[in-house]
């Protein structure tokens, strides 16, 4: 009996390590998650209702960008632009779509010649994108998030 109690006593001391609990801090978990988190990618890109039936993340992105370009081209073609020399430039629109689906142009980058020949280009681009259909914001981890992206627009005007 003494031998059995001695074995039990030794086993209980030896197994105490199995009952140790380590405290996990939420800050540590948050730091690990933030390091593993890809800030430059979303689960779903912003979209229009017309692109909703499109399958696949990349296809939805292309549909969204093409819809923006189509609206932009349609509205810009209504304006008569007169230049003294041929303009061929790629204008970069830095676009922001907030987590509520509101669209805004953060910046417009164009060549100095384009700015000189078409000084009203910035206002024409902004006007052309004023009346967009409803935009559904991007999704990251089931949350609507603000996104920023560059939309290249090719401007070709002949004298």
Q: Per-residue pLDDT tens for 90-102?
A: 999 999 999 999 9
Grade residue 3 by pLDDT with cuts at 50, 70 and 90: low
- Please check whether residue 42 lies inside any domain of the structure: no
| pLDDT of amino acid 22 | 64
| pLDDT of amino acid 77 | 85
Same-domain pairing of 102 and 53? yes
Segment 101-106 long-range contacts (CB within 8 Å, at least 24 positions apart): 101/46, 101/134, 101/135, 101/136, 101/137, 101/144, 102/135, 103/129, 103/132, 103/135, 105/129, 106/148
14: enclosing H helix or E strand: helix 2-14
Grade residue 153 by pLDDT with cuts at 50, 70 and 90: confident
| pLDDT of amino acid 52 | 77
| pLDDT of amino acid 141 | 83
> Which DSSP string do the residues of 102-116 spell out, in sequence order?
-EEEEEEE--HHHHH
The dihedrals phi and psi of 75, each to the nearest 5 degrees, come to -75, -35
Q: Which two tokens stand for residue 150?
A: 């560059």
* pLDDT above 80 for 85: yes
* pLDDT above 80 for 61: yes
Same-domain pairing of 60 and 22? no
| pLDDT of amino acid 23 | 65
| pLDDT of amino acid 54 | 73
Q: Which two tokens stand for residue 21?
A: 């609990």
- Please check whether residue 118 lies inside any domain of the structure: yes
Same-domain pairing of 18 and 83? no
Sort strands 143-145 and 138-140 into parallel, antiparallel or unpaired: antiparallel
111: domain range?
47-157
Same-domain pairing of 22 and 88? no
Q: Which residue has the higher pLDDT, 93 or 29?
A: 93
Grade residue 109 by pLDDT with cuts at 50, 70 and 90: very high
pTM above 0.85, yes or no: no
- Report the greatest alpha carbon distance in the chain: 109
- Please check whether residue 41 lies inside any domain of the structure: no
- Please check whether residue 57 lies inside any domain of the structure: yes
- Please check whether residue 140 lies inside any domain of the structure: yes
């Amino acid at each position: 009996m003494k031998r059995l109690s001695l074995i039990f006593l030794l086993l209980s001391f030896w197994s105490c390590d199995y009952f140790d609990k380590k405290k996990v801090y939420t800050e540590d978990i948050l730091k690990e998650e933030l390091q593993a988190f890809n800030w430059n990618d979303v689960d779903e890109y912003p979209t229009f209702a017309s692109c909703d039936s499109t399958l696949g993340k990349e296809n939805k992105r292309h549909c969204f960008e093409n819809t923006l370009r189509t609206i932009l081209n349609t509205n810009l073609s209504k304006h008569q632009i007169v230049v003294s020399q041929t303009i061929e430039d790629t204008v970069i629109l830095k676009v922001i779509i907030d987590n509520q689906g509101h669209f805004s142009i953060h910046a417009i980058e164009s060549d100095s010649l384009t700015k000189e020949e078409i000084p009203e280009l910035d206002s024409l681009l902004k006007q052309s994108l004023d009346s967009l259909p409803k935009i559904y914001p991007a999704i990251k981890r089931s949350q609507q998030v603000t996104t920023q992206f560059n939309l290249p627009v090719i401007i070709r005007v002949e004298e």
